[in-house]
Amino acid sequence: MASVKIRGCLLVAASLLNFAFVFISGVDFIRFISFRAIYHNITGETTLCQDSIPWSEALQDHSVISSLVVDLALVAVFTIQHSLLAWSRVKQALQSVLGVLTRTAYCFTTALALQILMHFWQPVTGAPCLWSVRHAPWSIWLPLLCFSLHFLCWAIICSILILFDYPELLGIKQVYYECLSLGDPLSDKSPRAQRLLSHLRHPVCLELAVVLWFLPALSLDRLLLAATLSTYLALAHSLDKQDLEYLCVHLKSKMLLFSEPQRTADCDNNHKEE
């Protein structure tokens, strides 16, 4: 009995530590991919690029090429980790070793790969920007518009993750169910929900695409990051019409559920007035 309690405590501790690490990595990623990129333009000026240097000279610069090679390697590390651990054979092998911590390990290694990418990322400042808004009034208003749009997209992403069962995505629910001997939380979901999750573990493709591309200035290293991640997101799911129909029904039911408390409150107010 004592060993069972100790095992349960260790599982819970590992799950909560992973949640903290993933949450911190998510905040760092938002700062890295959105607000740090926009900050350079928020006053209408940018130090991301050297527009005075011609492309023919920039693409022969050793520092530019080496930075792009390092950045490409970092993106490759992330995509390989993210895909390899999602491969069914690897998942089965991890399941036999880690059990309910399989999803926790997947999220932890994903966050670790992101931290490595962000920490060692090499900005390319010795080449021109593909585009850069420098003239008033758009040099001021466009960065503010980008900031607002990015903020909205990240708010939508967080909302969608909550709707898609955030504890299960992070592996917390698996540990909770194991400690209470409830089995696999995925078994509680309907076959259509399980089918959707098997086809779409990245329910925020459109919002991430906006965040990746909608910027006042697009440097060469940001083009590399946006192009590779956009391609990966496009290839990472296999949604079909049946999945989309279920997703629409699921989202409508969630919206009705959130609106019920307001309807109940309105009815109570009406009764009181009567």
pLDDT digits (tens, 9 = 90+) for 182-220: 777 766 666 665 555 555 555 567 788 889 999 888 889
Which amino acid, one-letter code, is at 45?
Answer: E
In a domain, 249, yes or no: no
CA distances from 129 to 52, 57, 124, 168, 211 (A): 10, 14, 9, 41, 18
Q: CB-hemisphere CA count at 13 Å for 123?
A: 14
Render pLDDT for 144-170 as a digit per residue (tens, 0 to 9): 888 899 999 898 888 877 777 778 778
pLDDT in tens, 39-55: 665 544 556 677 778 88
187/184 Cα distance (integer angstroms): 6
Q: What is the mean pLDDT of residues 246-263?
A: 62
Residue pair 42/148 in contact by the 8 Å Cβ criterion:
no
| 4, part of any domain | no
Length of the chain: 274
Is there a domain that residue 33 lies in? Answer: yes
- Give domain status of residue 252, yes or no: no
User: Is residue 169 in some structural domain?
Assistant: yes
In the chain, the number of structural domains is 1
Neighbours of 90 (CB within 10 A): 14
Number of H helices, E strands in the chain: 13, 2
Distance (Å) of CA 121 to CA 69, 184, 208, 225, 261: 10, 38, 19, 10, 46
In a domain, 47, yes or no: no
Cα R_g (the chain), whole angstroms: 23
Q: Is residue 245 part of a domain?
A: no
Examine residue 84 and state whether it is found in any structural domain, yes or no.
yes
Extended beta strands in the chain, E state: 131-132, 217-218
How large is the angle between the packed helices 2-30 and 172-179, nearest 10 degrees?
A: 170
Q: Average of pLDDT values for 100-111?
A: 91
Band of pLDDT at residue 11, cut at 50, 70 and 90: confident
Containing domain of residue 198, as a range? 12-42+55-239
